[in-house]
Amino acid sequence: MIDFEARKVIEALRSGVSSKSVGQYFSSARPEVTKRISDSLDSVRTGKNSGGMILSGKYGEGKTHLLNTVYNLAHSENMVVSLVTLSKESPFDKPYLIYQKIMQNTYLPKRLQPGFLDILSDISPNSPLATELQAYTAKHLETDKLFYLFRAYLNTDDLDEKYLLLADLEGDFIGNAVLKRIYKRIFSEKVTYNTTFSKTKHMDDYFSMLSHLFLQLGYSGWVILFDETELIGRLGKKARLKAYTNMASFLFPEETSRIRATYSIFAVASSYIEDVIDGKHEFENLNEAEDAEKAAAQRTLEAICGAKQLQPLTKDEIALVMDKLKNFYRRAYDWEPEIDMAELEKDTDGRGFLLRTKIRASVERLDQLYQYGKLGDIEIDELGGIHYDETLPELDALSGDEYTLQ
């Protein structure tokens, strides 16, 4: 019988795109790194402490795959997971855009789809959770905006207001004046902020609130996984310094943030040190930063430089991956591949250093056997692309009326 879950895994491996499913089933490689992360998550769960790490590795060596493995590991430990890929739409120098991205990509344990704010719709104004949230946002944050926002959300009977307040929690921030008007309508009280909220200065309030909310909902902690961190290198000099400072609040929250029971992992290409930190003289650029920003940014840069790099898998580890790959292929197509494991492993040699390329070459080998009953040439080249023998004619060489532009 065909195993459709196994087929989904094989199709993901064939495409070379990492997925949460692959991370769930192919998690035995690199046991030392996995054990280190597992121990850190245990510390977060038991001690409610926060921390973070840098995950460094070459392109295609399995950083994203490892993040997906951590995703499944964290969920098995009843932890909330946010999986965020940095991009030009979510640059790390703008934490309010990062917050929006996190809100769109946060998964509760045992849920396949992201999102969690629907839980708030079931909270009554006088429930223990509501009381705890209002007390926390009133006393433990830098501003008191979230106190007024939560209290207004829990007590308003106007659906439009409820929508606006919930949208703010999702990252579509409403103005301070708007919140004052809503609050005054509900409670007939004038709002006087202790500190006026600014999304460019006070986003730590929102991250801290989320970490506290997850604990109050009964989860063991929060894991935030940042992929493609090397894209920070494309920012301007001042923006990069700001991004390093923001990274510090996740890597070293005991000094710069109020977030609780949260562990953050940043995956970054190992070339970042040579291309950006050295190439753009980042340590020298620190002299242009203010003292507080300089200390945080320097600590982040030192963490990137000191990160232990993922090493290519050993032959024994590759053998385990190939054996599991063959087993998944058998289950995916209800077919027993008649190929010696040593031959399948040999096909990975000479396909470049990329782990994903080695796996794609092996999947193509199995595809050939399944479809044609014999082996042929492998078309996956050493760069991980597909090589085509056909050559297209130059436009100038085409002749005939059918090629004449009218």
Q: What's the total number of domains in the chain?
A: 3
Question: Is there a single domain that holds both residue 333 and residue 276?
Answer: no
User: What is the Cα–Cα distance from 309 to 330, expressed in whole angstroms?
Assistant: 34
340-365 pLDDT, tens digit each: 777 777 766 655 556 677 788 888 88
Q: Confirm whether 90 is domain-assigned.
A: yes
Alpha helix ranges (H) inside 62-106: 63-76, 95-104
User: What is the Cα–Cα distance from 155 to 134, expressed in whole angstroms?
Assistant: 12
User: What is the Cα–Cα distance from 202 to 142, expressed in whole angstroms?
Assistant: 7
Taken in order 291, 294, 296, 302, the sign of the CA dihedral is negative
Please provide the DSSP assignment of 299-311 as one string: HHHHHHHHPPBPP
Contact yes or no for 52/266 (Cβ under 8 A): yes
SS3 of residue 225 by DSSP: strand
Contact yes or no for 23/15 (Cβ under 8 A): no
Contacts of residue 56, defined as CB under 8 A and 6 or more positions apart, other chains included, come to 63, 267, 268, 269, 270, 272, 304, 307, 308, 309, 310
Question: Is there a single domain that holds both residue 90 and residue 231?
Answer: yes
Q: Closest Cα to residue 41, out of 33, 31, 51?
A: 51
Q: Confirm whether 93 is domain-assigned.
A: yes
- Tell me the backbone φ, ψ of residue 261, rounded to 5 degrees: 50, 45
Question: Is there a single domain that holds both residue 90 and residue 59?
Answer: yes
User: What is the Cα–Cα distance from 293 to 238, expressed in whole angstroms?
Assistant: 11
Q: Confirm whether 194 is domain-assigned.
A: no
Contact yes or no for 54/303 (Cβ under 8 A): yes
Q: Confirm whether 203 is domain-assigned.
A: no
Q: Closest Cα to residue 171, out of 109, 244, 100?
A: 100
- Model-level pTM? 0.83
Of the CA atoms within 13 Å of residue 40, those in its CB half-sphere come to 21
User: What is the Cα–Cα distance from 53 to 329, expressed in whole angstroms?
Assistant: 35
User: What is the Cα–Cα distance from 182 to 190, expressed in whole angstroms?
Assistant: 10
Q: What is the CATH number of the domain that holds 48?
A: 3.40.50.300
Q: What pLDDT does residue 397 have?
A: 42
Question: Is there a single domain that holds both residue 163 and residue 129?
Answer: yes
Question: Is there a single domain that holds both residue 372 and residue 240?
Answer: no
Q: Residue 389 is encoded by which pair of tokens?
A: 């023998």
Q: Residue 282 is encoded by which pair of tokens?
A: 């980042």
Q: Confirm whether 394 is domain-assigned.
A: no
Q: What pLDDT does residue 47 have?
A: 87
Question: Is there a single domain that holds both residue 291 and residue 144?
Answer: no
Taken in order 326, 17, 307, 50, the sign of the CA dihedral is negative
Question: Is there a single domain that holds both residue 171 and residue 147?
Answer: yes
Q: Closest Cα to residue 148, out of 122, 182, 117?
A: 182
Domain that holds residue 255: 30-110+217-306
Q: How far is CA 379 from the centre of its chain?
A: 31
Pairing of strands 106-107, 222-227: unpaired
Pairing of strands 51-57, 262-269: parallel
Question: Is there a single domain that holds both residue 221 and residue 301?
Answer: yes
User: What is the Cα–Cα distance from 297 to 247, expressed in whole angstroms?
Assistant: 8
Question: Is there a single domain that holds both residue 285 and residue 225?
Answer: yes
Strands (E), 1-116: 51-57, 80-85, 106-107
Question: Is there a single domain that holds both residue 105 and residue 238?
Answer: yes
Chosen domain end from 274, 306, 338: 306
Q: Confirm whether 197 is domain-assigned.
A: no
Question: Is there a single domain that holds both residue 106 and residue 122?
Answer: no
User: What is the Cα–Cα distance from 120 to 166, expressed in whole angstroms?
Assistant: 9
Among 32-41, 46-55, 92-101, the range of highest mean pLDDT: 92-101
User: What is the Cα–Cα distance from 250 to 308, expressed in whole angstroms?
Assistant: 18
Q: How confident is the model at residue 55 (pLDDT cuts 50, 70, 90)?
A: very high
Q: Confirm whether 399 is domain-assigned.
A: no
| Least confident span in 17-21, 297-301, 314-318, 395-399 | 395-399
Q: How confident is the model at residue 29 (pLDDT cuts 50, 70, 90)?
A: low
Q: Closest Cα to residue 98, out of 258, 221, 207, 210?
A: 207
DSSP state of 40: H
Contact yes or no for 262/224 (Cβ under 8 A): yes
Contacts of residue 172, defined as CB under 8 A and 6 or more positions apart, other chains included, come to 100
Contact yes or no for 85/58 (Cβ under 8 A): no
295-322 pLDDT, tens digit each: 999 999 999 999 988 887 777 877 788 8
Question: Is there a single domain that holds both residue 93 and residue 14?
Answer: no
Q: Confirm whether 195 is domain-assigned.
A: no
74-117 pLDDT, tens digit each: 999 999 999 999 999 999 999 999 999 999 999 999 898 999 99
Contact yes or no for 265/81 (Cβ under 8 A): no
Contacts of residue 112, defined as CB under 8 A and 6 or more positions apart, other chains included, come to none
Q: What pLDDT does residue 316 have?
A: 80
